Chain A
C-alpha cells in the first residue's frame, strides 16, 4: 500500500531533550515536506526537500532541522525542543516538487502529536 509513515504518533517530552520524528514513503516520490498544524493557523510548512540531499526552509523553520540522505526518508529533528513546538506534525510527499508544476497532489502521513513540557 502506498503510504507515508510517521513515527512516533504521539510523544511527550521535556524542554531541551533532543528528539527525531521519522518519515518514510514507499512511492519513490522526489518531493517531501514537513508541516505543523496549529488551531486556526492551518498547516504551515517547516522544511521541504525537492530530492535527495536537497532541502530548504519553509515558512517556520526555526528550531528544526531535516536531512534527506535517502529518497524514502525525511526525518525532522528538534535539537532542543521548547513548549512553543508543541503541535501536530505532518509529513507529506509528492511525485515532483512544487517547482515543477504546482499540480502535484500531496500524500500525507497520519500525523505526530508532540507535547513539549
Chain B
C-alpha cells in the first residue's frame, strides 16, 4: 500500500533561519511527489512537484526539495524563512493514487 510519512508534526524556527521538513514515502510503483502549503484559513496550494529529471526541484517562495529514490524521501528546505512562511505543509505522493502525509506545522518566530 502507498503511504506518506511526515516525520515532524510541528517545527518551530526563528526568522531568517533555515528549515527542513522531512517526508518519506512508500510505494510499489513509481510516484510523482508534491509539496503543498496551507496558509491559515486557506486551502492548499502547490509549492513544487517532482515528476522526473533533476532530483532537485525548485518551487515558489524560495523553497526547494530533493528527491532521493534510494531513501524514498522528498525533503523540503528553505535556507532562510520569513514570518509569512508560517503555515502547514503537506507532502503528497501520486502513484496508484494520490496520498497525503499528516502535515507539518511550521511556526516562524521573530
Which positions in A face B, CB cutoff 8 Å?
A: 4, 35, 40-45, 90, 92, 98, 102-103, 105-106, 108-111
Q: Please name 15 further chain A to chain B contacts, defined as beta carbons within 8 Å, in addition to the given A40-B9, A40-B102, A108-B36, sorted by A numbering.
A: A4-B43, A42-B102, A43-B90, A45-B98, A90-B43, A98-B94, A98-B98, A103-B94, A105-B46, A106-B44, A106-B46, A106-B98, A109-B43, A111-B41, A111-B42
- Most chain-A Cβ atoms within 10 A of its Cβ — which of B36, B41, B95, B100? B100
Q: 30 interchain pairs (CB within 8 A)? A: A4-B43, A35-B100, A40-B102, A40-B103, A42-B4, A42-B100, A42-B102, A43-B90, A43-B100, A45-B97, A90-B43, A90-B44, A92-B44, A98-B94, A102-B31, A102-B32, A102-B95, A103-B49, A103-B51, A105-B46, A106-B98, A108-B36, A108-B44, A108-B45, A109-B43, A110-B41, A110-B42, A110-B43, A111-B42, A111-B43
A103:B43 contact, CB within 8 angstroms: no
- CB-contact partner of B43 in A41, A102, A108, under 8 A: A108
How many interface residues does chain B have, given as a range? 20 to 34
Q: Which residue of B lies closest to A108 (CB)?
A: B43
Q: In the complex, which residues of chain B have a beta carbon less than 8 angstroms from the beta carbon of A102?
A: 31-32, 94-95, 98
A105:B49 contact, CB within 8 angstroms: yes
In the bound complex, how far is the Cα of B92 from the Cα of A108, in angstroms?
Answer: 14
